[in-house]
């Protein structure tokens, strides 16, 4: 019996296998697949849709818009507009005068163009902010805000200094280069005539989309917008006759006509969001 017992030795116990709790190799938890980020909405309102450019029978009327622009300027925004314009025109005038004295006019066409660009550079970093401030005053006036404070508007536009400056640089360089091709400069100005008021009204839009939207609008309604453009050029020329002083009275109408076009075509988001820099 003992022999039998020895013949059948108990199988050596294999070390109890501790269940290797393999941490469930959960199908790689696909890190929450961040759905393709939705396009960033434009501050204060929706992005500009293609349907905007399919509108018909828009109420273009340059006579009414020019008259309303003058009434708006004279009755509501005269002082903030004049003060803001004088501040920025003085700054740019001083810069231009200094650089004009430092760099005499060369007797060479190419060097003359280079000189024009050099003289323009310092103003590029001032006038975008200034033009943005002027457009903002007009937009606030058009949308019914009262007691517009020029200091607060300038500070408000300072927050958007970079995109405004980028747009002004794009505008000036494109106009300068376009000017080398016969009337290319005027063509550039026509295509970009709504870019500034669009960017001021929708700061998150960005300078390039603002330029694209303006150009698309100018091409879509070219007959109507060309009439506005010619009238605006006349306003600028008439204002420049009296040593430039007349611009203080004609330039606001020019700005108001462009704002009226933006309002007709794209709508203004400023009126939906209000603005903290005014006392309504």
- Would you state the pLDDT for residue 13? 54
- Would you state the pLDDT for residue 77? 97
pLDDT in tens, the chain (280 residues): 444 444 555 555 555 554 545 545 555 544 444 444 444 444 434 468 888 999 989 999 999 999 999 999 999 999 999 999 999 988 887 887 787 777 777 777 788 777 777 777 888 889 999 999 999 999 999 999 989 999 999 999 999 999 999 999 999 889 888 887 878 899 999 999 999 999 999 999 999 999 999 999 999 999 999 999 999 999 999 988 876 778 889 999 999 999 999 999 999 998 755 554 443 3
- Would you state the pLDDT for residue 224? 97
- Would you state the pLDDT for residue 198? 97
Asked whether the beta carbons of 132 and 200 are under 8 A apart, the reply is yes
- Would you state the pLDDT for residue 58? 93
- Would you state the pLDDT for residue 119? 77
- Would you state the pLDDT for residue 106? 72
| pTM for the whole structure | 0.78
- Would you state the pLDDT for residue 103? 74
- Convert 202-229 to b/e letters by CB count within 10 Å (16 or more is b): bbbbbbebbbebbbbbbeebeebbeebb
Q: Assign 96 to helix, strand or coil.
A: helix
Cα separations in angstroms, 161 against 92, 155, 247? 16, 10, 24
């Amino acid at each position: 019996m003992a022999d039998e017992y020895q013949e059948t030795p108990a199988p050596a116990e294999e070390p109890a296998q501790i269940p290797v709790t393999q941490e469930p190799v959960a199908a790689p938890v696909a890190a929450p697949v961040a759905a393709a980020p939705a396009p960033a909405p434009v501050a204060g309102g929706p992005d500009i849709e293609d349907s905007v450019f399919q509108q018909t029978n828009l109420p273009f009327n340059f006579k009414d818009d020019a008259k309303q622009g003058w009434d708006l300027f004279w009755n509501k925004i005269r002082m903030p507009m004049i003060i803001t314009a004088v501040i920025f025109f003085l700054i740019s005038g001083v810069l231009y005068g200094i650089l004009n004295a430092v760099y005499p006019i060369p007797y060479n066409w190419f060097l003359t163009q280079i000189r024009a660009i050099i003289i323009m550079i310092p103003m590029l970093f001032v006038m975008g902010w200034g033009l943005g401030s002027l457009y903002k005053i007009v937009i606030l006036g058009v949308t019914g805000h009262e007691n517009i404070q020029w200091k607060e508007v300038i500070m408000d536009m300072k927050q958007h200094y970079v995109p405004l400056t980028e747009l002004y640089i794009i505008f000036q360089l494109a106009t300068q280069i376009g000017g080398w091709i016969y009337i290319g400069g005027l063509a550039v100005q026509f295509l970009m005539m709504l870019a500034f008021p669009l960017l001021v009204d929708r700061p998150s839009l960005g300078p390039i989309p603002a330029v694209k939207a303006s150009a698309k609008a100018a091409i879509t309604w070219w007959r109507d917008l060309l009439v506005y453009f010619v009238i605006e050029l006349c306003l600028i020329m008439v204002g420049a006759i009296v040593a430039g002083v007349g611009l203080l009275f004609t330039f606001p109408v020019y700005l108001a006509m462009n704002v009226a076009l933006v309002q007709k075509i794209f709508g203004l988001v400023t009126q939906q969001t209000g603005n903290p820099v005014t006392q309504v």
